[in-house]
Amino acid sequence: MADDGSYRQVLGSPPTDLTPAALSQWKEVAKDFGSFHRLIRGQGGARHHADDVLAEAKKKFHNHLRRNGPVSGKPRSYFGMICKNAAKDHFNYLKKLSEDFLLDDTSPHAEKRLQDSTLNKDLLALVEVEDRLRGSLKLLKEELSPHELTVFILREAHEYDTAAIAEYTGSTKDAVRQTLLRANKKIRGPVLKRKLYLFRLVPD
């Protein structure tokens, strides 16, 4: 992991702590950062995920150049490999985050804490939305399997397409589509839809 100074250098001007040969490789790759961002974005997921993945890839590439000097072979190919691994790591992080969130049945906002707090109205509104979301997820957990709900969150919340979910989970696009169809069918069922409406998360 790069230190804070290194991180700022990566996201800002060309690094000043590289050897001339390493800096030359950095500049060669930097010309195509936009293309790499589009490639990452094309793998699925919301735009800000591509931003995060590219930033992490830049840090790792800079770290290698700073510590080990120029890469052997083509620097663009090496950076492409870093991007691919960073994209997979980011997906796995979000997947684990989703799975851990589904296992958490506790509310982060105890009633007494809300009564005694000095939260402003905007933050109270955010608390209300978060509690509604947690309440809805508890309902979803009663009807959907953990796998169905995880895939549903990755698709609907994090905006990964079926191809990316299939690739990163070792599944197939057809299997992911079937999982999403089952999840959506259950969610749109009359009983669950009526319950979710109480949390104002689905239209009447």
CA pair distance 68, 133, nearest whole angstrom: 47
Q: What is the CA radius of gyration of the chain?
A: 22
Report the amino acid identity of residue 36.
Answer: F
**Mean pLDDT score, 152-181:** 88
Per-residue pLDDT for 161 more than 80?
A: yes
What integer best gives the mean pLDDT of the chain? 75
User: Cα separation of 2 and 67, whole Å?
Assistant: 11
By the 8 A CB rule, do 6 and 53 touch? Answer: no
Determine the distance from the C-alpha atom of residue 73 to the mean position of all C-alpha atoms in its chain, rounded to a whole number.
Answer: 31
Whole-structure pTM over 0.85, yes or no? Answer: no
Least confident of 5-14, 20-29, 110-119: 110-119
Residue 182 above 50 pLDDT? yes
pLDDT digits (tens, 9 = 90+) for 45-61: 778 888 999 999 999 99
Q: Give yes or no for residue 10 having a pLDDT over 90.
A: no
Per residue in 106-139, pLDDT (tens digit) is: 434 334 333 444 444 454 444 444 555 556 666 7
Tokens of 107: 């509310």
Measure the CA–CA gap between 155 and 182, rounded to whole angstroms: 13
State the Cα–Cα distance between residues 25 and 22, nearest whole angstrom.
5
Nearest Cα to Cα of residue 159 among 180, 133, 187: 180
> In the chain, what is the straight-line distance between the N-terminal and C-terminal CA atoms, in Å?
48
List, in order, residues 6 or more apart from 125 with CB less than 8 Å away.
none
Could you tell me the pLDDT band of residue 2, with boundaries at 50, 70 and 90? very low
Q: What is the pLDDT of residue 41?
A: 85
Residue 155 pLDDT greater than 60, yes or no:
yes
Q: Exposed, middle or buried: residue 36 (CB in 10 Å: 0-12, 13-18, 19+)?
A: buried
pLDDT tens by residue, 85-107: 999 999 988 888 777 766 654 43
Which helix (H) or strand (E) is 88 found in, with range?
A: helix 75-103
Q: Which amino acid is located at 64 in the chain?
A: H
Contact yes or no for 166/152 (Cβ under 8 A): no
Closest CA to 103 of 150, 65, 60: 150
